[in-house]
Chains A and B, each alone.
Chain A
Amino acid sequence: MSTISLQDTHHHDNHDDHSHGHHHETFLTKYIFSQDHKMIAKQFLITGIIMAVIAMVLSILFRLQLAWPDQSFPLLETFLGKWAEGGRIRPDFYLALVTIHGTIMVFFVLTAGLSGTFSNLLIPLQIGARDMASPFLNMLSYWFFFTACVIMMGSFFVQTGPASAGWTIYPPLSSIPKAIPGSGLGMTLWLVSMVLFVASSLMGGINYVSTVLNMRTKGMDLWKMPLTIWAFFLTAILGILSFPVLVAGVVLLVFDRSAGTSFYLSDIVIGTEILPNEGGSPILWQHLFWFLGHPEVYIVIMPALGISSEVISVNSRKPIFGYHAMIYSLIGITILSFIVWGHHMFVTGMNPLLGGVFMITTLIIAVPSAVKTFNYLATLWRGNIRFTPAMLFAIGLVSFFISGGLTGIFLGNASLDINLHDTYFVVAHFHLVMGSAAIFGMLAGVYHWFPKMFGKMMSAKLGYLHFWLTFICAYLVFFPLHFLGLDGVPRRYYAFTEFEFMQKWLTVNVFVTWAAIIAALAQVAFLWNFFYSIFRGKKAPQNPWEANTLEWTTPVEHLHGNWPGEIPTVHRWPYDYSKPGAEHDFIPQTVPFSETMSSNLPHDFEGNTEAEEIQKAWDVKNKPVQDAE
C-alpha cells in the first residue's frame, strides 16, 4: 500500500497543470476509486506485481523443500510458525504452497495483472477513445479483483491453512476437509475469492469488448487496429465465454461442500466412514474446470503475444510480418481453444474415444501457434533491431513460446500423455509456454509502456541485467525438469526421498533451486528499477520508441480524457515502419497519405480508385527516374 500512497506524491506535482476545466478530483476519486482507465491500469499492474512477488516467494519456499528435504531452516519457522515446525515445511503446507502459487500466478498475475493492466491502458489509448465504455464498471472490476486477492491471501491466516488440492482443486479432495486440512475454511475462501475474481474479469471483459467495438476513433476500422488490441479483444471474448462456466462449476462445488449435494461426489469412504453422496462424478468438475481452464491458458498467452507483436515490430523498425495472418491465427486460436479442454483429461478415465477427438483438435491448434512464431521470425529478418529491454523480453517470449510449444506436441498426443501426465514434464512445459512466455510478455509491456504509464523512463541497463539473468535462469530452472518427467517423477511430490529411483534427481533439484533463487533475486533489479523510476526516472519524451500507434500522440502528462483537443483521426495501419521513400523510419497512424506521397504503395489505398489516380499523377510528376528503373 505504501507504494500507492507514494505514487500520490509524484502525481500531485502535476495535478494542477491539467485539472483545469475538469471536475475537481479528490484523492479518493483519483487514486482509490478512480474511474480513469490509466489509473486503473496502474492499480492492476501494481497489485499484479505485488501478487507476483508473493507467488514467487511461495515458489522459493517449496523449491527449498525440494532441494534440501532433510535440512532444517529455522528461519522458516520464525516466519511460518506451525507450518514449518522445526524449520521444515510440513507436507500439507507444501501442497498449500504449490496450490496458492499456481492460483496466484495463473489468475491474479497473468490474467488480471496482464490483461487487466494492458487492456485497460492500451484499449482506449490505441483505438482513440477518451476512456472505457463504462468507467464505473471498470473501477468495480479492479475492486472486485483487489478483494479477491485479499481473500486469497487471507486464507494463509486460517487455522487449517489455505486451499491445498492443487490449483485445479479437483474434488473430492477439495470437497472433503477430512481428506486434507486445506479443504476446510481455506478452500471456502479460495472459492469465494475465485467467484469475485471471475466477476471482476467479466466486468473487465465486457468493458473491453464494448469499448473496442463501439469507441474506435474516426478511421480506425478493425483492420487498422494494432495487434495488441486484437489480442486483448479476442482474449476478452474468450474470458466472457469461458469464465462463467468456472463459476457454475464453483457454485456446484460450494453446494457439494456446504449443502450436502452430490454433483461431484459418489461412493466415497473416508477411513471407514461411508459418505451419503451418490450419483455424482468427479469427472464433471474436470470438464467444467478445463472448459475454462484451457481457454484460460490462451487468455494468459494471447495478450502477451499481442504485446510482443507490437514491441517486436516497433523495435525491429519493420512492419509486423503477415498482419492479417497474425489476426487470423489469433482468431483460430480463440475458436479452437474451446474444443481442446479434454487434453487435460486423457487419463482421467474419460471415454477413450473422446481422448482421440481431443487429441486431433489439440494438435490442430499448434498450427496457428506455429504461424505466429514464424511471423515473428520473419519480422526480425532484415530488421534494424533496437534492443530496448522490452525488445529483449519480447525475443525471450518467442524463445519460450517455441520451447514450451514444442513440448506441448508431446502432451497433446494422447498416447504419449499416458506416461507424461502429471509428471514434471507437464510442469516444465506449462512453465515455459504459459508461465515464462506470458510473464516475459508482461515485462515487455511494462518496459515498453512505462513511459506512457508514469511519464518516466526506466533504466535500460538494469533492464538488460534483469532480462539476461531471468532469461538464462528460467531455462536453467525449467529445461532439466523435462527429464525428471521423462523419468516418471510425478509432480506435487513433497520430497523425493521415499523412492529409490528419484534419489538421482536430488542434485538436479538443488541446481534448479539455486537457479530459481537467482532468478528471484534478479527480480529485485526490476522492482528497484520500476519503483525507483516512478519517482526519480528520467522524464519521458512523448514518443520514446518512435512508434506509430495512437497512445504516443497523447501528452506525457496524463489527463482524464487522454487527448487535450479533438481525438486524432486514423489514416493508416499501425505498422508503417521503414517504409521506402518515407522521410523517417516511422509514420504514425495519424499521418494522412496526402502527406506521404513519396512513400505510398498501391495497396495502401485499399481499392480507392480516386486516391490511386491522384497518387499515379503525383508519381508521374515526381518519380520519373524511379519508374524508369
Chain B
Amino acid sequence: MSLKKLISNKTTAALAVILTVFANTSAFAQEAAAAASAKPVDMGAIYKTTLFYVLLFLLLCLFIAIVGKALKVYELTRETEGKPEGINWNTVNGVLFAAFLVVGIYGVYWEYTVHGEMILPEAASEHGKKIDQMFNITLILTTIVFIVTHIVLMCFAYFYKSNGKRKAYYYPHNNALERIWTVIPALVLTVLVLYGFLTWRSIFYKIEDPNNKPISIEVTSSQFQWDIRYPGADGVVGKKNYKLITSINALGIDFTDKNTLDDQVADEIVLPVNKPVRFTLTSKDILHSFYMPHFRVQLNTVPGMTSYFEFTPTITTEEMKVKTNDPKFNYLLLCAKICGTNHYNMQKLVRVVSQAEYDEWIAKQTTYLTNDLRKEFKLPVIAEPTTAAPAVADTTAKDTVAQTNQIALKK
C-alpha cells in the first residue's frame, strides 16, 4: 500500500470530518437561533468566518507546498545543469538575521516610545519615587546590554555565515576574557543589589516619627471584596477574631475590645496627602494581594497572618488628574493574587485628598458597631470561651457606657 495513497485518503477523510462538523454545528446554530428568538444571534455568519479562516489557512498551506515544490524543481534543474545549488540558504538566513536586527531595534524603539507612554504615571508615594528611580537605572543598564548583545549576536550571525571557503578560527578559550565578563556583570549586579537592598529596607523597616504617626487602616480581603476599617477617634483599629464572624458581624470584630467601638466602615479608601498611612492586611478566606500600583504598593493578604505596609501618598487624586491629563483618573486597589472566578474584578476606589477634605470625609463615616451588634454583644452567651468571666463583665459595662455615649451623640 502506498503511503501517499494512505495520506491522501486520510486527508480526504479528515476534510470530510471537518465539513460534517461544520455542517452539524451550523445546523445546531440555526436551531439555537430559532429557539432563542428573544435575542436572535446570527451564528451562521460566525461559522462562515471560522470556515473562511480555516480555508484561508489550508490555502496558505497549499501555497507553501507549491513554493516548496517549485524550489525543489529549481534546485534539481540547477543540479542537473551541473551548477552549484540554487539558493544559498546560509546567505538567506544570515541576511534575515541582519534584517531582524534592524527591524527589531526599530520595534524596540517603537515599543519603548508608544507602549512605554501607556504605563503607570509617576509614583504617587515617597518610597515609590525611590523604586521608580531604581527602575529607571535598571532599565537603562539592561537596555544597553540588551541592544549591544543583540547587535553582537545578529551581526555575528550575518558576518560569520559560512560561504564554503572560510575555515573557522580555532579559539577554545581565553581566561582573561572569561574573567572580564564574570567580573563586570558581578560588579554591576553588586551595585544593583546594594541599592535594591537599601531601598527594600527603607520600605519595610520604618522608624516611627512620634510627631507624624501613621494612620492605621485595616483591610480585610475576601472573595471578592475589600473591607476597610478606619480606626476612629482613638487611632487604634480594634481586635477581631475570625471565630466571631456572623452574617451581621462580617469581619468578626471583637466588640469586647473597647478600641473597636469607634472603628469606622468605609466603602472607599480615602487618604490625606503627605501623611503616612499604615495598612494592616488580613484575609478572611484565601490569599489575595493588596495591590495599589500607583503607589508602588503590594503585599499579599494571608489568612491566619497579619501583614503591614506603610507608605506616604504624595500626590492627590486631583493633582494626578492634571498630571496624567485624564479627568477620569482614579487611584485603585486591585487584587493581584489569583483568588477565583471574580479575581478580575476585585477592586476598590482609592482617593488621596487634602487633610481638610479627609477630616470632613472621615467625620461622615459610620461605625461598625450597629444596634444589632450591640444587642448581640450584650447577651452574656456570646462571651467567647477564651475570655475570662470578669473580663466579660468589665467589657459589657464599658460597652453600655459606649452605647449611651453613642446614643447621646446621635441625639
Residues in chain A within 8 A of chain B (CB atoms): 72-75, 78, 87, 91-92, 95, 165-166, 170-173, 176, 179-180, 265-270, 272, 274, 278-283, 316-325, 347-349, 352, 355-356, 359-360, 363-364, 366-367, 370-371, 373-375, 377-378, 380-387, 392, 395, 398-399, 402-403, 406-407, 409-410, 413-416, 418-419, 421-423, 459-462, 464-465, 468, 471-472, 475, 479-480, 483, 486-488, 490-496, 498-501, 504-505, 508, 521, 524-525, 535-536, 575, 577-580, 585
Per-residue contact bits, chain B 117-130, to A (CB 8 Å; 1 contact, 0 not)? 01110000000101
Given A91-B341, A366-B185, A385-B162, 20 extra CB contacts under 8 A: A74-B25, A78-B25, A166-B338, A173-B287, A282-B303, A318-B170, A321-B172, A321-B174, A324-B173, A347-B298, A355-B200, A359-B196, A385-B90, A418-B297, A419-B131, A465-B64, A479-B108, A483-B115, A490-B334, A493-B343
- A282 CA to B302 CA, complexed, in Å: 7
Q: Tell me, rounded to whole Å, the shortest Cβ–Cβ distance linking B236 to chain A.
A: 21
Determine if B407 is an interface residue (Cβ-Cβ < 8 Å).
no
Determine if B214 is an interface residue (Cβ-Cβ < 8 Å).
no
Per-residue contact bits, chain B 154-169, to A (CB 8 Å; 1 contact, 0 not)? 0011001110001111
Q: Tell me, rounded to whole Å, the shortest Cβ–Cβ distance linking B30 to chain A.
A: 11
Query: Which B residue's beta carbon lies closest to that of A496?
Result: B344
List, in ascending order, chain A residues with CB within 8 A of B343's CB.
91, 95, 492-494
Q: A348-B300, A381-B171 are in contact. Are A414 and B196 (CB under 8 A)?
A: yes
* In contact, A74 and B29 (Cβ under 8 angstroms): yes
From A172, A179, A465, A486, contact of B119 by CB (8 A): A486
List, in ascending order, chain A residues with CB within 8 A of B157's CB.
380, 385, 387, 395
Determine if B370 is an interface residue (Cβ-Cβ < 8 Å).
no
* In contact, B298 and A382 (Cβ under 8 angstroms): no
Total interface residues on B, using CB and 8 Å? 124
Determine if B104 is an interface residue (Cβ-Cβ < 8 Å).
yes
- A373 CA to B152 CA, complexed, in Å: 11
* In contact, A322 and B173 (Cβ under 8 angstroms): yes
Q: A416-B134, A479-B107 are in contact. Are A421 and B298 (CB under 8 A)?
A: yes
From B119, B307, B344, contact of A349 by CB (8 A): B307
* In contact, B344 and A494 (Cβ under 8 angstroms): yes
Interface pick from B92-100, B227-235, B269-277: B92-100
- A198 CA to B337 CA, complexed, in Å: 26
* In contact, B170 and A488 (Cβ under 8 angstroms): no
- A317 CA to B93 CA, complexed, in Å: 17
- A398 CA to B97 CA, complexed, in Å: 13
Q: Name which of A176, A274, A525 has the most chain B CB atoms within 10 A of its CB.
A: A274
Determine if B294 is an interface residue (Cβ-Cβ < 8 Å).
yes
Determine if B57 is an interface residue (Cβ-Cβ < 8 Å).
yes
Residues in chain B within 8 A of chain A (CB atoms): 3, 21, 25, 28-29, 32, 41, 43, 46-47, 50, 57, 61, 64, 68, 71, 89-90, 92-94, 96-97, 100, 104, 107-108, 111, 115-116, 118-120, 128, 130-131, 134-135, 138-139, 141-142, 145-146, 149-150, 152-153, 156-157, 160-162, 166-174, 177-178, 181-182, 185-186, 189, 192-193, 196-197, 199-201, 203-205, 222-223, 242-243, 245-247, 250, 252, 281, 284-287, 289, 291, 293-294, 296-305, 307, 328, 330, 332, 334-345, 347
Q: Tell me, rounded to whole Å, the shortest Cβ–Cβ distance linking A249 to chain B.
A: 16
* In contact, A499 and B347 (Cβ under 8 angstroms): yes
A-B contact pairs, 10 of them (CB 8 A): A78-B25, A278-B304, A367-B189, A402-B149, A413-B134, A415-B199, A421-B298, A488-B120, A490-B334, A492-B338
- A74 CA to B24 CA, complexed, in Å: 12
List, in ascending order, chain A residues with CB within 8 A of B3's CB.
535-536
List, in ascending order, chain B residues with CB within 8 A of A280's CB.
304
* In contact, A269 and B297 (Cβ under 8 angstroms): no
Q: Tell me, rounded to whole Å, the shortest Cβ–Cβ distance linking A3 to chain B.
A: 12
List, in ascending order, chain B residues with CB within 8 A of A413's CB.
134, 138, 192-193, 196
Q: A395-B153, A415-B130 are in contact. Are A323 and B41 (CB under 8 A)?
A: no
- A577 CA to B172 CA, complexed, in Å: 10
List, in ascending order, chain B residues with CB within 8 A of A392's CB.
93
Q: Tell me, rounded to whole Å, the shortest Cβ–Cβ distance linking A309 to chain B.
A: 13
* In contact, B203 and A418 (Cβ under 8 angstroms): yes
Q: Tell me, rounded to whole Å, the shortest Cβ–Cβ distance linking A521 to chain B.
A: 6
Query: Which B residue's beta carbon lies closest to that of A283?
Result: B302
List, in ascending order, chain B residues with CB within 8 A of A488's CB.
120, 291, 293-294, 334
From B28, B146, B172, B330, contact of A500 by CB (8 A): B330
List, in ascending order, chain B residues with CB within 8 A of A320's CB.
172
List, in ascending order, chain A residues with CB within 8 A of B41's CB.
72
* In contact, A95 and B341 (Cβ under 8 angstroms): yes
- A494 CA to B25 CA, complexed, in Å: 26
- A323 CA to B174 CA, complexed, in Å: 10
Q: Tell me, rounded to whole Å, the shortest Cβ–Cβ distance linking B12 to chain A.
A: 16
- A382 CA to B345 CA, complexed, in Å: 55
Q: Name which of A171, A279, A395 has the most chain B CB atoms within 10 A of its CB.
A: A395
* In contact, B337 and A282 (Cβ under 8 angstroms): no
* In contact, A580 and B170 (Cβ under 8 angstroms): yes
* In contact, A176 and B96 (Cβ under 8 angstroms): no
Query: Which B residue's beta carbon lies closest to that of A320?
Result: B172
* In contact, A172 and B285 (Cβ under 8 angstroms): yes
- A219 CA to B205 CA, complexed, in Å: 58
- A496 CA to B181 CA, complexed, in Å: 43
* In contact, A461 and B71 (Cβ under 8 angstroms): yes
From A316, A407, A465, A487, contact of B160 by CB (8 A): A316
Query: Which B residue's beta carbon lies closest to that of A75?
Result: B50
List, in ascending order, chain B residues with CB within 8 A of A524's CB.
61
* In contact, B296 and A418 (Cβ under 8 angstroms): yes
* In contact, B168 and A367 (Cβ under 8 angstroms): no
- A589 CA to B157 CA, complexed, in Å: 27
* In contact, A363 and B189 (Cβ under 8 angstroms): yes
